[in-house]
Amino acid sequence: MNIIKAEDYNQMSRMAANYIAAQVTLKPNCVLGLATGSSPIGTYQELIRRHQAGDLDFSKVTSINLDEYKGLSPENAQSYRYFMNTNFFDHINIDKTCTYVPNGLEENAEKACADYDAIIENCGGTDLQLLGLGNNGHIGFNEPDEVFAKGTHCVDLAKSTIDANARFFDSMDEVPKQAYTMGIQSIMQAKKILVIVSGKGKANIVKEAFTGPVTPQVPASILQMHPDVTLIADKDALELL
């Protein structure tokens, strides 16, 4: 694993944008696996800046997002589709019909997951998967579990995840309790993986995930088995490594 230390969140974001920009420049029709959360917002802003400066063309890029809350519509400001549109897609020249996010409005979980796996397969998998790291080591919404889930599946969110998400909703009742997420196998099949982590609050889980035992109780620990992982983290997040 390649570990790159950044001074702070802003430098982490610029470095991550360098990495993604290189991928898009070298393979304009690449498939990007994209993530939500606070970690990638700065990276998306930096990519938008480079696009607006005329240096980055997303017109041939396809994107596949990791996850979506079950029950939230694309217009819901807390849905991940809305997040991706407003934080990234609306500001670049990507063809929105080539941007994929699981369908949160599909109530039939089996269908939602099978449809998404078919999309991933039709795209030929991802060239570069961007990942944040949940406080409990989750990636996408692959929560700590007895086994590593393979394909897209419907998850009951961990209490710690629901609590962490509560800040975005008006009341606890509105916080989604389930989500559709790409599985660990699909994530691991990405040709390259870029993980971005920032802040002292993540220092413990960074240490556990990247130097501890590989176990489904810490889903990100599986990344130790991937041949091409780059971790770009700020010095606070790396302070226990």
Q: Which of 35, 61, 72, 232 binds ligand GLP (CB under 6 A)?
A: 35
Answer yes or no: are the C-beta atoms of 153 and 180 closer than 8 Å: yes
Tell me the per-residue interface mask from 204 to 223 with ligand GLP, x by CB under 6 A, - otherwise.
--------------------
Nearer to ligand GLP, 48 or 131 (CB): 131
Q: Which of 30, 34, 61, 67 binds ligand GLP (CB under 6 A)?
A: 67
Q: Is 37 left (phi over 0), alpha (psi -120 to 50) or beta?
A: left
Q: Is 38 in the site for ligand GLP (CB under 6 A)?
A: yes
Q: C-beta of 199: minimal distance to ligand GLP in Å?
A: 8
The SS3 of residue 113 is helix
Catalytic residue among 51, 65, 67, 127: 67
> Hey, what amino acid is at 225?
M
Catalytic residue among 68, 117, 138, 234: 138
Angle at 156 between CA 129 and CA 115, to 5 degrees: 55
Taking residue 86's Cβ as centre, other Cβ atoms within 10 Å add up to: 12
Starting at the earlier edge strand, list the strands of the sheet with 178-181: 67-69, 178-181, 153-156
Q: Which residues bind ligand GLP (CB under 6 A)?
A: 35-39, 66-67, 132-134, 140-141, 161
Positions marked catalytic: 67, 136, 138, 143
